[in-house]
Structure 1
């Protein structure tokens, strides 16, 4: 608006003087509420409709005024614009626009959408109940590398979990409570349909092991090892111990050290990459060390004229890293 009769929306003089915000086919126009300014705004809207051939939808449009505006001013703006009035807060591009203090109720719609999205993701990806793991999708060659790495990390971390038996609610075959790994991996040929979903408590009687049933279900060495495991209090729940830490409590740092691939430290590279050496120099040393310097020998370039020989020496020799940086003149 370049008309002198147009009065802008009152804003702080040190900040940007905003007249409108536009995104796609939505626009917010900031103006004062006097009659001349409203007429100029509507004039610009009509010019837009004539030039573009599009009509502004007055059913979707609305105007807002300050909470202390009188009814006379609101009715006057209604008559001049043809729009209905609304009150704060309102939603623009998914975000609540409000005045005065922030309230949690303003963000109810946004929170509901996030919860709905997460619930949909959980329903598709996370199985419910029992001791199921979040990452339980079947491994197949069509999976992405990221998904395969998640499955690999899951198995690595799962091996660090040991269950201590109290009430015996752990799964007999699938949980690691023997400190030897899941029995399904140790004795895969001994699983039957009738014992597939058995729990540890099914092999305990009066808070002692049912040794006869263990020997009937498992190989003798495994049954002997289990019979030596001390049982806890039957009125308490089983609990997990994280082997990667001394106190048995899980931590993100210990999980990272469990899944990360440790590389052998190269003493020579440690000497090159030093804070006291300028960047250009140690980067060049690094390239030389790994043979990343563009020489004839490294690039396998042959030239009929120089035959990949170094031209800087009195007696030309093959242009290798050893020759250029150690033996040349």
Structure 2
């Protein structure tokens, strides 16, 4: 029976959806035409014959889009003998239509919490039992809806108010004094609170988890539908809100900041990374396995993200060896160089090629530095002058001067040190002169 009816699309480029099945709560989508209606009827009849189960049309309902021809609605209604409704209010406990007033749409969550508390009015709970009932029952009621929608803050505040009233209890039909704020009770127990949830933050975390599933599982139906409707040519992390977006998409983008603060790229060949637009804090080199497995990498990323330049330098001084610091500095400079080339319209390298270039430059730098050391050793061996420390209670001043007759310029300098060789003061100065004259320095 595959392909007998086409289903519906929410946007061009999205896969068609013909059905959503979950246990005994199922939705079937088809175009309003006599041909497709008959095919759906035949599918249901074939299902009944194959499994011996009969579809209960008395508990089923039909819903049509607003621009449907009334004659076609009547035809389909007679064919299926099913009740026609303006819209399906809930599917799996979630609203199917987005209302203008989100507070009114999700008010049912507050009402469920109130009904649950009213059922406990005649029972006596200890303090520990109240804590368990709030965490395990009351605050779990909106959890399912929070995984799909952004619940208005006013609705979350209403639920938290009911939880607070239940926690402090009632006396003679009136609520008791609240000796601590709800924000204080939401703190962890190690900080003096009780560990209750802040529903707004919990809602945002659940939506961020759904967004992460879309990134990790791009082949799922919901991922393909959202990609076709909102981010065809970019990733979900760079997607815009768009025009006339659904409330689900608005809710997912509201939670995206949580992922932006915690996500890190693991670079393979570097072809999918744009170093000119990606934050340097989000790049983690996967090729260097020792560096990836070292927790200091994550400490450095945290220091770069939350601190100033001085704090980053101090962190590197305390955690990186000299060779590691040279590696970090050279690769950072290589990335900066490529970014400047991009800004000025020059051709840039792939990031893996840029890393190789940085390694080559670092080897040249170390080779030149070692060559300078050898030259310094040879020069020092040829020189017999050795600095001699002064007595314990004295200081020693060493001076030197040079004259350039071509430029008619003289320069003098000096250093003042104690008996341990510690530098106390240094000075230098220069001045032009004419032959046969003298200049003074002070």
Fold similarity call, TM over 0.5? no
Q: Tell me the TM-score normalized by structure 1.
A: 0.38
Q: Tell me the TM-score normalized by structure 2.
A: 0.29
Structure with the higher helix share, 1 or 2: 2
